[in-house]
Chain A
Amino acid sequence: MIDISSIPNIPPALIYFAGAVLLPLFGKGRVRKIYLIILAALGLIGVAVLKSPAPGGWEFSVSGFELIFLYVDRLSLIMGYIFAIIGAAAIVYSLGVVKENGEFVCGLVYLGSALGAVFAGDLFTLYIFWEIMAFSSLGLIWYSRTERATNAGMRYILFHLFGGCALLAGIIINYMSTGAISMVPGESGIGHFIVESGIGYFLLLIGIGVNTAFIPLHTWLPDAYPKATIAGAVFMCVFTTKTGVYALARTFPGAELSLFGNGIPFVAYIGGVMCLYGVIFALLQNDVRKLLSYHIISQVGYMVAGVGIGTYIGINGGIAHVFNHILYKALLFMCMGSVIYATGRNNLTELGGLAKKMPVTMITCVIAALSISGVVGFNGYVSKGMVIHAAELSHMHILTLALMLGSVGTFLSFLKLTYFTFFRRNDEIEAREAPLFMLIPMSVTAFLCVAFGVYPKMLYEILPYREVALQYHAFAVGHTLSTLELLAMTAFMFFSLRILIMPHDRITYDIDYLYRKAGRGFIWFCEHPLARFAVGVERVVLRIADYFVMFGKNPLRGTRVMIDTVGVALLKPVIFVFNLVIQPVYKYYERDLEAVKMRPVEEMGKMSIGTGLVLILLFFALYLIAMLLHGWLA
């Protein structure tokens, strides 16, 4: 028997980074597939054997900062478990669709850096992995090799660079005011990082908010995810936003804003807004992956709300929703990836009639849809209920209402997605079931969605506050009944009113419309007024440089030109006021200036080095005397 406790703690990020480095050695055939499956298994084992608290050895002192590359507690462990599970599923899924090594490398580095971020013990280490995540995920968009993907990738990385800058500035400013960079909370909980109100606080929140897709910092998500590669979208839907929620749980759990003498848990309300906003825009979408992308915003809203409420049950609910959401959202992206792979179509208006042609994809997609909608017996029901329960217990009635309405909208749009993709009649469509490498991770993930829904205690055991979680009754009669009623009424309304929310070939404007307008305005400003100003500055600088060259050649002549130029410049504006007095002097300067300029620049006679030194010493002596006199007089 292997004694697990004897296996040393290794940062899981290293496993995937090493895997990415070695990948090109295995070619592109069957050996590569075996290698990637072994790597996925190794990654899972690497996370499973991590011990909490982690023994030392991964702490480095850099310029006086203690950087902790591996910090293990219950929160980082649950994030690590789900990242490794779905990372393995995404790797196996990729085997069916990905051809190029580069795309695999981007996926592995992205997965590794996400794990590096959740096991980071300080904000600087978190920031390093945060940035690696942004650049590696960019590769997953650009490997689509379309113009749309290239443009969306540019917008994506611009947004994330802005967020990264804000995060780094926030970390530095907060460090200067509090001296805190360590995220190790000790025995008391998960999120006791010291954040002081002010600009640092705001910048930290903005930096984390970009990755978490706070409204209105969310536009990169529905813009970029639908344009990523089929496998790339599966990776992307998991890591970036969830790492943001993790960072939020470490830094801003239950954060309050003082308003009219009351502490408002504003992060929780940001979650409520995200929940409704995402659902409303998802309902309008025609592109299946864009619909799912808007649902990420909505579901992350539940997580942000849970963390923002800040109570033990709220944080448990938020983190449980991270875990469950990753399962069903990755499954949904896998299913829609299979549909796009099999049909070459991605719009609801072009799909339909796939239930019989792709039965495994249909069943797994329905399971994922029921999970995200919070149907009893599926995993989403447990965590969503926990967050709503936390809001109720904290007497946040508006938030409770928003979260419940979010459930209705979610079910409505997933009825729309599944109905128009699989069940609506479409005799024209030709498709075959997805390859086995795609179906295996889909089936396993679907099984996990049901397993954690039927037996939620498995999840409670690994939540940050285990004892509180075990006291929560997911299947209480009142809650179960009202959820079933809510979903039944939503289904009834969908089939009654589905004509009103039929998919159409239409483009929906989001806030990014304003960003694009502002961007074009900024480019115009750079190309016209700013460019003209730059040309003007260049001319002035060149004239000054010319003058210095002339002065260097003949200082006497240069001084004379300077005096004449200043004289002309000073007298010209007042010449009309004191015509009789000023005009002769002005004319003199003007004539002299023209005369000097007309003469060729003759170089001054050269002096010996000794004479030059005497002159310099004389100058310094005069300067010294002036300084001494100044000091003496003062």
Chain B
Amino acid sequence: MNRKVLRGLLIIIASVVLVVSAMFVFVIHSHSEFFTGVLYGTIGALFFVVMAKILSLIQKEGKQDD
């Protein structure tokens, strides 16, 4: 992956985390049920991307599994 893409990704992740945190702090306390989706969506997607990256360590090159 080249540096430009990485930098872009980092900026996107940082902005999303900031927006979600801001929303969590300022809005959710009063109207939590309307914002849980945003929170779960962001955290969930990041969780799965990170898990996929971690589990890719136990993958090996090849097309067939046996």
Which A residues are within 8 Å of any B CB, using their own CB? Answer: 148, 151-152, 223, 279-281, 283-284, 286, 290, 347, 404-405, 407-409, 412, 478, 481-490, 492-494, 496-497, 499-501, 504-509
Checking A152, A290, A486, A507 against B40 with a beta-carbon cut-off of 8 angstroms, the contacting residue is A486
Q: List 21 A-B contacts (CB under 8 A).
A: A280-B52, A283-B51, A284-B55, A404-B40, A409-B44, A412-B48, A478-B33, A482-B36, A485-B35, A485-B36, A485-B41, A486-B38, A486-B40, A487-B41, A488-B37, A489-B45, A492-B41, A493-B42, A499-B5, A507-B64, A508-B59
Checking A151, A405, A486, A508 against B47 with a beta-carbon cut-off of 8 angstroms, the contacting residue is A405
Give the shortest distance, in Å, between B10 (CB) and chain A (any CB).
11
Please determine whether B16 and A500 come into contact, CB atoms closer than 8 angstroms: no
Given A482-B34, A499-B5, A506-B62, answer yes or no on A493-B51 (Cβ-Cβ < 8 Å): no
Chain B residues near A499: list those with CB within 8 A. Answer: 1, 5, 9
Please determine whether A508 and B55 come into contact, CB atoms closer than 8 angstroms: yes
Given A486-B38, A489-B37, A489-B41, answer yes or no on A506-B56 (Cβ-Cβ < 8 Å): yes
Checking A151, A286, A290, A486 against B41 with a beta-carbon cut-off of 8 angstroms, the contacting residue is A486
Which residues of chain B in 16-66 are interfacial with respect to chain A, using CB atoms and an 8 Å cutoff?
16, 33-38, 40-49, 51-53, 55-56, 58-66
Give the shortest distance, in Å, between A629 (CB) and chain B (any CB).
71
Chain B residues near A504: list those with CB within 8 A. Answer: 56, 59
Given A404-B40, A478-B34, A482-B36, answer yes or no on A494-B56 (Cβ-Cβ < 8 Å): no
Additional A-B contacts beyond A409-B48, A486-B38 (6; CB < 8 A): A223-B65, A408-B47, A490-B41, A501-B49, A506-B56, A507-B64
Complex: A501 Cα to B9 Cα, angstroms: 13
- Name the residue among A152, A281, A405 with the largest chain B CB count within 10 angstroms: A405
Complex: A152 Cα to B13 Cα, angstroms: 41
Give the shortest distance, in Å, between A510 (CB) and chain B (any CB).
9
Please determine whether B9 and A496 come into contact, CB atoms closer than 8 angstroms: yes
Chain B residues near A478: list those with CB within 8 A. Answer: 33-34
Residue on B nearest A513 in the bound complex, by CB: B58
Chain A residues near B61: list those with CB within 8 A. Answer: 505-507
Give the shortest distance, in Å, between A513 (CB) and chain B (any CB).
9
Chain A residues near B33: list those with CB within 8 A. Answer: 478, 482
Complex: A279 Cα to B55 Cα, angstroms: 12
Given A409-B48, A506-B61, answer yes or no on A488-B34 (Cβ-Cβ < 8 Å): no
Please determine whether B37 and A486 come into contact, CB atoms closer than 8 angstroms: yes
Complex: A490 Cα to B37 Cα, angstroms: 10
Checking A148, A290, A347, A408 against B44 with a beta-carbon cut-off of 8 angstroms, the contacting residue is A408
Chain A residues near B60: list those with CB within 8 A. Answer: 506-507, 509
Give the shortest distance, in Å, between A622 (CB) and chain B (any CB).
68
Interface size class of B (residues with CB under 8 A): 35 or more
Please determine whether B37 and A485 come into contact, CB atoms closer than 8 angstroms: yes
Residue on B nearest A408 in the bound complex, by CB: B44
Checking B36, B44, B66 against A152 with a beta-carbon cut-off of 8 angstroms, the contacting residue is B66
Given A482-B37, A486-B38, A506-B60, answer yes or no on A493-B45 (Cβ-Cβ < 8 Å): yes
The 7 closest A-B pairs by CB, nearest first: A489-B41, A485-B37, A408-B44, A493-B45, A482-B37, A486-B37, A506-B59
Please determine whether A493 and B46 come into contact, CB atoms closer than 8 angstroms: yes
Chain B residues near A279: list those with CB within 8 A. Answer: 48
Please determine whether B58 and A148 come into contact, CB atoms closer than 8 angstroms: no
Complex: A487 Cα to B60 Cα, angstroms: 31
Please determine whether A284 and B40 come into contact, CB atoms closer than 8 angstroms: no
Please determine whether A486 and B58 come into contact, CB atoms closer than 8 angstroms: no
Please determine whether A283 and B48 come into contact, CB atoms closer than 8 angstroms: yes
Give the shortest distance, in Å, between A373 (CB) and chain B (any CB).
12
Give the shortest distance, in Å, between A504 (CB) and chain B (any CB).
8
Please determine whether B58 and A497 come into contact, CB atoms closer than 8 angstroms: no
Chain A residues near B16: list those with CB within 8 A. Answer: 492-493, 496
Chain A residues near B53: list those with CB within 8 A. Answer: 500
Please determine whether A488 and B41 come into contact, CB atoms closer than 8 angstroms: yes
Complex: A188 Cα to B63 Cα, angstroms: 52
Residue on A nearest B37 in the bound complex, by CB: A485
Given A152-B66, A499-B1, A500-B53, answer yes or no on A280-B48 (Cβ-Cβ < 8 Å): yes
Complex: A198 Cα to B46 Cα, angstroms: 42
Checking A151, A482, A494 against B45 with a beta-carbon cut-off of 8 angstroms, the contacting residue is A494
Complex: A138 Cα to B13 Cα, angstroms: 47
Give the shortest distance, in Å, between A226 (CB) and chain B (any CB).
9
Residue on A nearest B15 in the bound complex, by CB: A496
Chain B residues near A283: list those with CB within 8 A. Answer: 48, 51-52
Please determine whether B38 and A485 come into contact, CB atoms closer than 8 angstroms: yes
Please determine whether B48 and A148 come into contact, CB atoms closer than 8 angstroms: no
Residue on B nearest A405 in the bound complex, by CB: B44
Residue on A nearest B35 in the bound complex, by CB: A485
Please determine whether A507 and B59 come into contact, CB atoms closer than 8 angstroms: yes
Chain B residues near A281: list those with CB within 8 A. Answer: 55
- Name the residue among A478, A494, A496 with the largest chain B CB count within 10 angstroms: A496
Residue on B nearest A489 in the bound complex, by CB: B41
Please determine whether B55 and A493 come into contact, CB atoms closer than 8 angstroms: no
Chain B residues near A501: list those with CB within 8 A. Answer: 48-49, 52
Give the shortest distance, in Å, between B63 (CB) and chain A (any CB).
5
Residue on A nearest B65 in the bound complex, by CB: A507
Complex: A489 Cα to B13 Cα, angstroms: 12
Give the shortest distance, in Å, between A222 (CB) and chain B (any CB).
9
Please determine whether A408 and B62 come into contact, CB atoms closer than 8 angstroms: no
Complex: A501 Cα to B38 Cα, angstroms: 21
Please determine whether B62 and A507 come into contact, CB atoms closer than 8 angstroms: yes
Chain A residues near B35: list those with CB within 8 A. Answer: 482, 485
Chain A residues near B5: list those with CB within 8 A. Answer: 499
Complex: A481 Cα to B65 Cα, angstroms: 41
Give the shortest distance, in Å, between B34 (CB) and chain A (any CB).
6
Complex: A407 Cα to B52 Cα, angstroms: 16
Complex: A357 Cα to B43 Cα, angstroms: 36
Chain B residues near A508: list those with CB within 8 A. Answer: 55, 58-59, 65
Please determine whether A505 and B52 come into contact, CB atoms closer than 8 angstroms: no
Please determine whether A489 and B42 come into contact, CB atoms closer than 8 angstroms: yes
Please determine whether B49 and A505 come into contact, CB atoms closer than 8 angstroms: no
Chain B residues near A481: list those with CB within 8 A. Answer: 34, 37
Chain B residues near A409: list those with CB within 8 A. Answer: 44, 48
Please determine whether A284 and B37 come into contact, CB atoms closer than 8 angstroms: no
Chain B residues near A407: list those with CB within 8 A. Answer: 44
Please determine whether B62 and A497 come into contact, CB atoms closer than 8 angstroms: no
Chain A residues near B41: list those with CB within 8 A. Answer: 408, 485-490, 492-493
